[in-house]
Amino acid sequence: MEIKPVTTGFSVAEQLTEDDLVTLKEAGYRTVICNRPDGEAEGQPTAHRLAARAQELGLAWYWIPVAPGNFTEEAQASFNEVLWEAAEPVLAFCRTGTRSITLWALSQAEQVPAQQLIDQAAAAGYDLVKCAPQFKQPE
């Protein structure tokens, strides 16, 4: 697992395993957001199994599944709500981390300039230039 910090309180990663949850707990993470629907790939652990392990470890767990490229208003609102309520640091994950960082950027776009979001994502290894038109910018 490669943890990619985006801000002091938020990071993204690729698909997690139950062992990765132990590592996250030991690293001080307090909240995990899963953005991966079950059954995307053979051998992928189910969200239910990961949630049970996270809860055993005392990690807050949220499941906001998003199909690739399908960033619904509901998913964006749920993600934003979790970020406001969650104990930091927070780690969100999906297959590669791209959906998670995109949801993060969409959730921040009303307060943060698009270029800053693109730069923060790039520093974490993600290219969100094509997503910029979706960012609702502050007026």
Listed residue (133, 129, 137, 82) closest to 104, CA to CA: 82
pLDDT, tens only, 13-27: 999 999 999 999 999
In this prediction the pTM is: 0.91
With b for 16 or more beta-carbon neighbours within 10 A and e for fewer, the 63-89 pattern comes to: bbebeeeebeeebbebbbebbeebeeb
> pLDDT at residue 44 above 80?
yes
Give me the residue spans of the domains in the chain. Answer: 4-107
Span 58-89, pLDDT tens digits? 999 999 999 888 888 899 889 999 999 999 99
> From CA 107, how far away is CA 100, in angstroms rounded?
11
Cβ count near 47 (within 10 Å): 19
Q: Average pLDDT, whole number, for the chain?
A: 91
Q: pLDDT tens digits, residue range 87-128? A: 999 999 999 999 999 999 998 888 888 889 999 999 999 998
pLDDT confidence of residue 110:
83
Q: What percent of the chain has pLDDT over 70?
A: 96
Peptide bond into 89 cis (omega under 30): yes
Q: Does residue 58 contact residue 31 with C-beta atoms inside 8 Å?
A: no
CATH code for the structural domain at 4-107: 3.90.190.10
C-alpha separations of 4 from 18, 73, 97, 101 in Å:
18, 25, 9, 10
Q: Is the pLDDT at 139 greater than 70, yes or no?
A: no
Q: Does 137 have pLDDT greater than 70? A: no
Task: State the pairing for strand pair 90-93/10-13.
Answer: parallel
